[in-house]
Amino acid sequence: MKLHLPYYLIATALMISCSQSVDDTTAETINFEQAKPLAEIIDSTRFVVLGDEKHTFSGRIDKLMAKGDTIFISDIPNTNSLNAYRTNGDFLFQVGRKGRGPNEYIEMSSFTIDDKNIYCLDNGKQLLVTYDINTGQYISEQKIPAFYAADFAKFDDGSFLFYYGDTPQNGGGAFITNDKFEKTNYTLPTTDENYCELSTINAFTQTADKIVYTTYANDSIYIFDRKSPSLPVTKIALDFGKHHIKGDARSNSEELSSYMHSSGAAYLYGDLLISDVNIPTQQQADYFMYGSYLYNMDTEMVYLNARMEDVLSSTVPVPDNYVFWFAGVVGDEIVSQIESYDRYQELVKLGMKRAPENIEQQLEKGEPILVFHRLIMN
């Protein structure tokens, strides 16, 4: 089936100019309580070991992007590195390296790609460093004015979209610059209603023709046309009803866990919007409960991954096709990452289908394992 890209979660397209912000809009309530299990629409699963003899990648994936059969994975919190792999896991090259010398970065905050280049944001040197997408070789660098950004994306017309996760008083939010990094009047500022001290670092994801923007407790998702920031923007509002975040909960992790809200980067996959959602529990535990979800606007169906905590407590049975930590979209597959060998063993004991023996051996050694899930698209 050919995949199209309509917008999901009942969205309203907004015509905006470079001097306007996106207005509020109303969206239909999504009933997560009536969601079907995500495992029902997973057609097949394959496991991929990331082959990296230099061990420049460790821990949880920070950001994943793909072009053709090449995937780019950053591990900023642990190794501050960016690597390229084939979709079969073969290591291709490391993009740049950390250091203070020429062609090196001090603090890579994020990266993005287009058809020709890889762009790395170095807040330490206040530079945007460009590398060749096919080889990882250094091309050039541009000085960025004195502003900090946690994430960014690039439009086809050369404009940039940056995200700064700070309070409304300190100018937090998303803003657009031209190709010389001069700010335009176009902004999506944080407000008292969507600011969260725990905002996700990765605010942007992209497809071949779209840029998707959201933050940790925003409860809204914005879809830009990659051709130009002056084209219509779609705002998707997630209405969680009585679970809407109230008061000062956004700055209190324990209190925030008792509300339902968007809790991860949002991805477009054909006719589906995929993201994570924080799901409150009756016990209002002191840690976050969340699950990956998919929403189909054509059928208005919600598919929700079983929460890890519910599976481990035997509240719900573990599905054979359990989706671990959701990491991104590659071609016609969604990708998750097995969190750890110990967590994998826990789920196997509860009834989850085992991975092939060679995968288990690599997982036990601590090698990073990706799980590619192909969906049933009716």
Backbone φ, ψ for residue 249 (5° rounding): -65, -25
Average pLDDT, the chain: 76
pLDDT tens-digit profile of 143-181?
988 778 889 999 999 999 998 877 667 777 888 999 999
Q: Is the pLDDT of residue 320 over 60?
A: yes
> Per-residue confidence at 192, pLDDT binned at 50, 70, 90?
low
SS3 of 361, please? helix
> Per-residue confidence at 286, pLDDT binned at 50, 70, 90?
very low
> Per-residue confidence at 359, pLDDT binned at 50, 70, 90?
very high
How far apart CA 224 and CA 221 sit, in angstroms, is 10
pLDDT tens-digit profile of 49-98?
987 666 566 667 888 999 999 999 988 777 778 999 999 999 999 898 77
pLDDT tens-digit profile of 257-274?
677 777 677 777 665 677
Q: What pLDDT is stored for residue 11 in this prediction? A: 31
pLDDT tens-digit profile of 19-29?
334 444 444 45
How far apart CA 90 and CA 264 sit, in angstroms, is 28
Q: Is the dihedral of CA 156, 66, 373, 294 positive or negative?
A: negative
Rg (CA), the chain: 20
Q: What pLDDT is stored for residue 7 in this prediction? A: 30
At 95, list the tokens: 């993009």
SS3 of 42, please? strand
> Per-residue confidence at 283, pLDDT binned at 50, 70, 90?
very low
Q: Which domains does the chain have, with CATH numbers?
A: 12-32+60-300 (2.40.128.630)
| pLDDT top residue among 147 and 345 | 345
SS3 of 41, please? helix
Which alpha helices (DSSP H) does the chain contain, by range?
253-256, 308-312, 341-349, 357-364
How far apart CA 150 and CA 37 sit, in angstroms, is 33
How far apart CA 331 and CA 374 sit, in angstroms, is 10
How far apart CA 186 and CA 204 sit, in angstroms, is 17
Q: What pLDDT is stored for residue 21 in this prediction? A: 45
Quick one: CA torsion of 309, 242, 256, 194, rounded to 10 degrees? 130
Amino acid at 230: S
Triad 360, 36, 336: Cα angle to 5° = 30
Q: What pLDDT is stored for residue 173 in this prediction? A: 81
Q: What pLDDT is stored for residue 18 in this prediction? A: 36
Q: What pLDDT is stored for residue 69 in this prediction? A: 92
> Per-residue confidence at 285, pLDDT binned at 50, 70, 90?
very low
Amino acid at 171: G
> Per-residue confidence at 336, pLDDT binned at 50, 70, 90?
confident
How far apart CA 162 and CA 215 sit, in angstroms, is 12
End-to-end CA separation in angstroms for the chain: 8
- CA 21 to chain centroid, in Å, comes to 23
Look up the pTM and report it.
0.83
How far apart CA 94 and CA 33 sit, in angstroms, is 43
At 34, list the tokens: 């009536």
Residue range 308-321: mean pLDDT, rounded: 69
Q: Is the dihedral of CA 177, 10, 322, 200 positive or negative?
A: positive
